[in-house]
Amino acid sequence: MSVLSQSTKRGSVLIVGGGIGGMQAALDLADSGFKVHMVQRDPSIGGTMVMLDKTFPTGDCAMCMISPKMVEAGRHLNVDIHTLAEVTSVDGDAGDFTVRVKLAPRYVDADKCTGCGDCELKCPKKVLSEFDQNLGQRKAVYSLFPQAVPNTRAIDASQCLCLNDPDRKRCRLCEKACKAGAINYNDKGRELELHVGSIILSPGLDRYDARVRQELGLGRWKNVVSSIQFERILSASGPYKGVVQRPSDQKHPKKVAWIQCVGSRDNHNANPWCSSVCCMYATKQSIIAKEHDKNIEPTIFFMEMRAFGKDFDKYVERAKNEYDVRYQRAMVSAIREEPGTGDLLLKYASEDGRLITEKFDMVVLSVGFQPHGDAEQFAKTFGIETNEYLFAKTSPFAPVKTSREGIFVTGIYQGPKDIPETVMQGSGVAGSVMAMLAEVRGTEIVKKELPPEKDVTGEEPRIGVFVCHCGTNISSTVNIDEVVNAVKDQPGVAYVTNTIYACAQDNQDMIKQTIKEQNLNRVVIASCTPRTHEKLFQETIREAGLNKYLFDLADIREQCSWCHKGQNEVATKKAIGIVKMSVAKSRLQEPLQSETVGVTPACLIIGGGIAGMTAALSLADQGFPVHIIEKDPELGGLIKHVYRTLDGLDVQEFLKDRIGAVNEHPKITVHTGVEVKKTDGFVGNFKTILTDGSAIEHGAIILATGGVEYQPTEYLYGQTPNVITQRQLEKTLAEGGSPGTGKRYVMIQCVGSREEPNQYCSRICCQDAIRNAIAIKERNPAAEVIIVYRDVRTYGLREDYYKKARDLGVIFVRYDVDKKPQVEQTGSVIQVRTWDYMLDRELSLTADWLVLSTGLRPHPTTEHVGAMYKVTRNPDGYFLEAHVKLRPVDFPSEGLFVAGLGHAPKNIDETVAQALAASGRAGVILSHEHLAVSGIIAKHKRELCMSCLSCFRVCPFGSPYIAEDGKVSHNEVKCMGCGICAGICPAKAFQVNNFRDDQILAMIDAAVESEPGVVN
Amino acid sequence: MVDGAVTEQTGVSTIEKPREIPEGWEPNVLAFACHYCAFAAADLAGVMRLSYPPNVKIIRLPCTGKLDHIHILRAFERGVDGVFVAG
């Protein structure tokens, strides 16, 4: 804990880097009472994830997931985004840092720019698009990608014709095109000084420049592309609009090869670490490519398939079996272009050692991650230590803490990792910061003062319609005057006008003024999409005293003018129809009140292992009472049997320290030897009865039920004392056991993992084996260790230890699942027979000790706990999170979170990060005195309800429930407003606010009225 | 009498005969789209300036699970030629 007192601590936080990890931290912190400054080098936030087409292993669209988060961060009252910005100095100490930030000139005034893009259309200068990885073009005045946040263009000074003319006289076309007057060629940039309590570093990653590997031909052969280029090729908004084609001749490739580990796992001319994600993204890219074009025949050249994450092995199996992806275990030594055809000849050695040359139409190089080029200077600026590879230095026990107090790290800057782990760390740093700055929570946030709401009940609708030109974006295709004329006589419409930019500040003021002058009680704005602008306009009318739900946005830009360019007459007719539909809905709109519910600021944590204790300490430091429920007589969980981390830290010392801290913390109550008997309630208001009869009231729940080790039945385990598990070997080694000279340890990997019915990787066993093997070799180099493995999965920076083990003389022999090792015992001798693919013959090994690397299973209580809290589990029995990418610690039902092995197998550092994330997510809820319920929810009319339970069965959030009178009731706090209940209810007892059936029917009628079909 | 209507006298419905499609006729299509995916996709089509025929209008739903039989029936009853549900 910091020694600074409250008076000197700051309630604001600086986040350096606006990728998905930084954004998650920003939203969690800003939603729980902290002011956030986000500094981003690029002109938009988004980072790497926005460049991806889809994500593994679910195939979700990356942009569809991240875009709402970007919009949320961009619009958040307590998140200030500084783009084109870099931190130049950091002074002060934890709790009170002074940070200087340099903002490069944007040449576009963000306060005036409406994001309409007229400037970009007029700009004559085309340059290669870095976002599309040089496969496409952009203009000199540009936005990084269509969904950029902030939605403000920037001028690329190195390319702009005007800025490169000393007299500033050339071109200036964007200035002329901008009706908002936002272009400023004299922008000099500026400097900022920020005072913050804490700093979060999430600068993201750079990619290995594969042009260095000349033998692979990137930059030389046109049809060799990097994996990030291939993401852009796959993207529907990319340079080829999602058509898989070759850069050289736009031909559709048939045979496509992926080459793994380009720039990774290579000590000689690249990076020694494993980049953790390439095996999976190559699998994803091959599947998606095949979905785009079924004629594609993908081949992935790899060394080891590292599908170590949740459901990853199943994904690879699907790729093999359903998509015919060929996985070829080989390193490609050289790629040559066949003259004239653009085809590529790949040279590699097959597994039996034959040299093969194979022809492909296109090659994708799976490039790895590395820290940014300026990582050394970056670390100096913030005064933090790095490891030898320039990643931020952290400990497995505190994975988001840097060496400087008050400065935290998330994402790839801490080590290579995928999106969910980055998001987990994002929430994890948020949790850590909440604990560190607990007493100044809420001191620096901005709150909006609003006028009282005008009561419009019983009034006839007086709708004001504002039709936006959006510069020329709408008006060049849609005749605005015609639209105005067509709606002015619509029933309920009291006032219609047009506006150049409805979203510009001066026009917002005009709208507010008009609402008052014309005594309007409903507003329709015909402009752009509600997905980005609805909240803005809702706030505007609320500021004018109208309930924010008396508003509708008619999208005549994205869904009309932009896609019907040049068809002015029909586009105008369609726009009229769209506005009439909105007006029809608006007439039936009612003011909606958002209910609020109180929050009990306490948390219940089920499971007293390392996940439960870490989350408990973080929440308790945030100031919330915490109850840990542990069914064993003592705290500790599975980690009680672990002695050392891979990098040699003392786990038992750490555990002792944690248990001590938990027991001493005044805010934590530990209930051992008990389980949950009964539970009830909803977010903010849970009540739990324990088996000892005690009752606890709390606002959030963390399920940290943990896991158990698989008890093997194979390989003579239990039949002879010389067949042991890695855990048993670890204990012997920890107790000082010394391996004898000439003694041979044979280790078999994947015992009980990666095979039906447990088709998943247990993630920790490769490292357990390598850690024990290193310990044996270090104590007695004359002892022999042979690891019989399927794929060595020492992902990320763990790869160093794989190398160390090999250097120490540990022998690795690969086996295939359909040719598993055979173990026999004759007398006291254990004989292991396995096929050696390198020698292409069977090996027979005599083992003094046979050590089995046994996998993990979810704790047996997971089933019971899952059923009690109505949370689903995956086929392997692990809890299923709300979303595998962006909500890795949430459940679909609000107020419930997951951490640790109950979610999936993971290492200690990952468990700690997820536990901190759960504490951050729970902290967001518990920091509110009241939670506001959205206005857009389903309303239940009990008098119409027949309690048929249709809604009860289909609701994904569990909001309909059976009340004490035996009939269905509806908990509006849990409702997310999806309306599935309304769709299925035969009695129409459910109606969704603002999407009521009468409103939808009115829209249908209006749509037809404006465009009657052929009816006789 | 319109083909396909229920005659008042008999209460028996007649099956509508396929019509000749008039020259240059374009169907009037109404789409119901989920706010989170299909509506977003329609927005992206605009952002990318992809062109498609203008005779389709979109009604936004919080989820396509909200769609009700009566919405589709009403659309056809009012003379819409096609209903497109995307989510």
Choose the closest CB to A1015 out of B66, B68, B79. Answer: B79
What does the alpha-carbon distance between residue A259 and residue A331 come to, in Å, rounded to a whole number? 8
| Domain carrying residue B52 | 29-86
| Average of per-residue pLDDT across A173-192 | 96
Q: Residue A934 pLDDT more than 90?
A: no
Choose the closest CB to B66 out of A64, A237, A978. Answer: A978
Give the orientation angle of helix A278-292 with respect to helix A312-322, to 10 degrees: 40
B37 touches chain A (CB under 8 A): yes
pLDDT of residue A289: 97
Nearest CA-CA distance, residue B8 and chain A, Å = 19
Would you call A768 helix, strand, or coil by DSSP? helix
Residue of B nearest to A566 (CA): B51
Sheet harboring A849-854: ordered strands across?
A: A723-725, A849-854, A744-751, A784-789, A811-814
pLDDT of residue B6: 46
pLDDT of residue A1016: 31
| CATH number listed for the domain at residues A598-709+858-928 | 3.50.50.60
Residue B4 pLDDT grade (very low, low, confident, very high; cuts 50, 70, 90):
very low
Residue A680 pLDDT grade (very low, low, confident, very high; cuts 50, 70, 90):
confident
Q: Residue A250 pLDDT more than 70?
A: yes
pLDDT of residue A1014: 42
> Is residue B1 a part of any domain in this protein?
no
Mean pLDDT of chain A: 94
Express as a percent the part of chain A with pLDDT over 70: 99
Nearest CA-CA distance, residue B46 and chain A, Å = 4
CATH number of this structure's domain A723-854, picked from the four choices 3.40.30.10, 3.40.50.150, 3.50.50.60, 3.40.50.880 = 3.50.50.60
Distance from first CA to last CA of chain B, Å, rounded? 38
User: Is A463-587 a CATH 3.30.70 domain?
Assistant: no
B26 touches chain A (CB under 8 A): no
CATH number of this structure's domain A10-104+189-205+372-451, picked from the four choices 3.90.1300.10, 3.40.50.2300, 3.40.605.10, 3.50.50.60 = 3.50.50.60
Q: How far is CA A284 from the centre of its chain?
A: 17
ipTM of the complex in this document: 0.86
Length of chain A (residues)? 1016
Contact B20, A1014 (CB under 8 A): no
Comparing A198 with A146, the larger pLDDT belongs to: A198
What does the alpha-carbon distance between residue A799 and residue A261 come to, in Å, rounded to a whole number? 12
**Interface contact flag, B49 A531, Cβ < 8 Å:** no
Q: Residue B9 pLDDT more than 80?
A: no
**CB crowding B1-14: b at 16 or more within 10 Å, else e:** eeeeeeeeeeeeee
Contact A689, A697 (CB under 8 A): no
Contact A924, A435 (CB under 8 A): no
**Interface contact flag, A995 B61, Cβ < 8 Å:** yes
Express as a percent the part of chain A with pLDDT over 90: 88
Chain A positions in Cβ-Cβ contact with residue B62 (cut-off 8 Å): 936, 977-979, 992, 995
Chain A positions in Cβ-Cβ contact with residue B40 (cut-off 8 Å): 64, 67, 531
pLDDT of residue B2: 42
Chain B positions in Cβ-Cβ contact with residue A574 (cut-off 8 Å): 54-55, 57
Q: Residue A64 pLDDT more than 80?
A: no
| Average of per-residue pLDDT across B57-83 | 95
> What are A641-667's pLDDT values in tens digits?
999 999 999 999 999 999 999 999 999
| Average of per-residue pLDDT across A960-967 | 94
Q: Residue A838 pLDDT more than 60?
A: yes
> Is residue B70 a part of any domain in this protein?
yes
> Is residue B22 a part of any domain in this protein?
no
Q: Residue A531 pLDDT more than 90?
A: no
Q: Residue A192 pLDDT more than 50?
A: yes
**Interface contact flag, B71 A980, Cβ < 8 Å:** no
pLDDT of residue A1012: 53
Residue A75 pLDDT grade (very low, low, confident, very high; cuts 50, 70, 90):
confident
pLDDT of residue A23: 98
Chain B positions in Cβ-Cβ contact with residue A565 (cut-off 8 Å): 49, 51
> Is residue B69 a part of any domain in this protein?
yes
Would you call A15 helix, strand, or coil by DSSP? strand
| Average of per-residue pLDDT across A553-562 | 95
What residues does each domain of chain A span?
10-104+189-205+372-451, 105-188, 206-370, 463-587, 598-709+858-928, 723-854, 937-992
Residue of A nearest to B36 (CA): A64
Q: Residue A533 pLDDT more than 60?
A: yes
Residue A392 has what DSSP assignment?
B
B84 touches chain A (CB under 8 A): no
> Is residue B9 a part of any domain in this protein?
no
**Interface contact flag, A1008 B47, Cβ < 8 Å:** no
Task: Please report, for residues A114, A967, B48, the alpha-carbon distance to residue A150 in angstroms, rounded to integers and kept in the order given.
Answer: 10, 49, 18
Nearest CA-CA distance, residue B12 and chain A, Å = 20
Q: How many domains does chain B have?
A: 1
Q: Residue A693 pLDDT more than 80?
A: yes
pTM of the model: 0.89
> What are A262-290's pLDDT values in tens digits?
999 998 889 999 999 999 999 999 999 99
Would you call A126 helix, strand, or coil by DSSP? strand
pLDDT of residue A7: 60
Nearest CA-CA distance, residue B76 and chain A, Å = 10
Residue of B nearest to A146 (CA): B47
Q: Residue A1015 pLDDT more than 50?
A: no
Nearest CA-CA distance, residue A359 and chain B, Å = 36
Q: Residue A999 pLDDT more than 80?
A: yes
Report the half-sphere exposure of A558 (CA within 13 A, side-chain side): 22
Contact A224, A270 (CB under 8 A): no
Question: β-strand A255-262 against A297-302: which pairing, if any?
Answer: parallel
User: Do the domains spanning A10-104+189-205+372-451 and A206-370 agree at the CATH topology level?
Assistant: yes
Contact A441, A32 (CB under 8 A): yes
Size of interface A-B (CB pairs under 8 A): 141
Architecture of domain A206-370: 3-Layer(bba) Sandwich (3.50)
Q: Residue A3 pLDDT more than 60?
A: no
Residue of A nearest to B78 (CA): A1008
Residue A1013 pLDDT grade (very low, low, confident, very high; cuts 50, 70, 90):
very low
What does the alpha-carbon distance between residue A470 and residue A475 come to, in Å, rounded to a whole number? 7
Residue B40 pLDDT grade (very low, low, confident, very high; cuts 50, 70, 90):
confident
B79 touches chain A (CB under 8 A): yes
Q: How far is CA A812 from the centre of its chain?
A: 35
| Average of per-residue pLDDT across A769-786 | 97
State the greatest distance between any 2 C-alpha atoms of chain A, in Å, as a whole number.
Answer: 100
Whose tokens are 């769709």? That residue is A983
| Average of per-residue pLDDT across A524-541 | 92
**Cis bond upstream, residue A57 (ω within 30):** yes
Nearest CA-CA distance, residue B20 and chain A, Å = 11
> What are A406-419's pLDDT values in tens digits?
999 999 999 999 99
